[in-house]
Amino acid sequence: MAWIDSHCHLDFSEFSEQSELYEHLLAADCDGVLVPATQAQYFERVVNFSQHFAKGRSDFVHMALGLHPYFLSQHQSHDLQLLDGQITRHQPCAVGEIGLDFMLDIDSHEAQVFYFEQQVLLAIKHKLPLIVHCRKAHDQLASLLRRLKFSFGGIIHGFSGSLVQAHKYLELGFVLGLGGALTYDRAQAMHKMVKALPHTAYVLETDSPDMAPAFAHGEVNSPLNVPQIAHHIARLRQEPLAHIYAHSTDNFRRVIIPKG
Ligand SMILES: [Zn+2]
């Protein structure tokens, strides 16, 4: 049963044994990964990764390019022009990882909104979906998307918001990335939300190398943990594992259309 990791940073230095990892992923029935960039200085690294990791198989790595709010201090306004040019040149499948992280210092929020909004406008220009990182800003982010009349959908990665917020995103054409956070017993609110989601609502992800699931706590997270995350979702939703794989893959392919 094939599956996709809809969010992993496999270009990071933690994954230096790339050809070994690719073989392991194939052996574990992985059918693709989405690798988003986080800052301009690594655009080239992500592009390179996407061209070489899957050894000539062009539909395995889905690349996204964008400026992540976590690295705000690294961004400069001309990075937006650079991003525009790189999108034209390399045809990523999405703009990301972009978003709003209001857990970060309040002084950064205005600049975060600026970069997010500018990148949503680039996505509209290039007709691309978004890979979104959002913490403590779901309502602001959803209303921004609505104000900009954004209609290309995408993925709200690492989603742990409420069911009401989930439905707002679904109405906007987004799906929700479910990952390691839900494997923790203490994540009761999340368990409830995962149980109640429609089957068209979610995709699987790890956010590797970060966000290690409970069963791999303290380890470098890897897409190889997706099957165990899917097991948790199957148990929560009381559905066969095969359904979780099939729905999450369908949902991914509905919002992320392969390029190139
Ligand atoms: Zn990420």
> How confident is the model over 87-123, as pLDDT tens digits?
999 999 999 999 999 999 999 999 999 999 999 999 9
- pLDDT of 168-219, one tens digit each? 999 999 999 999 999 999 999 999 999 999 999 999 999 999 899 999 999 9
Q: What does pLDDT average to over the chain?
A: 96
- pTM score: 0.97
* Rounded-to-integer distance, Cα 206 and Cα 258, Å: 20
pLDDT at 128 over 90: yes
**Domains observed in the chain:** 3-255 (3.20.20.140)
Q: How far is the CA of 9 from the centre of ligand 1 (A)?
A: 6
Q: How far is the CA of 157 from the centre of ligand 1 (A)?
A: 8
**Percent residues over pLDDT 90 in the chain:** 94
pLDDT at 34 over 50: yes
Which residue is it, tokens 């933690």? 14
Least confident piece of the model among 50-54, 56-60, 85-89, 131-135:
56-60
Q: How far is the CA of 133 from the centre of ligand 1 (A)?
A: 7
* Rounded-to-integer distance, Cα 39 and Cα 241, Å: 36
Residue type (1 letter), 111: A
Q: How far is the CA of 207 from the centre of ligand 1 (A)?
A: 5
pLDDT at 231 over 90: yes
State residue 260's pLDDT score: 46
Protein residues within 5 Å, CB atom, of ion ligand 1: 97
Strand partners, 16: none
pLDDT at 259 over 70: no
Q: How far is the CA of 26 from the centre of ligand 1 (A)?
A: 22
Per-residue confidence at 52, pLDDT binned at 50, 70, 90? very high
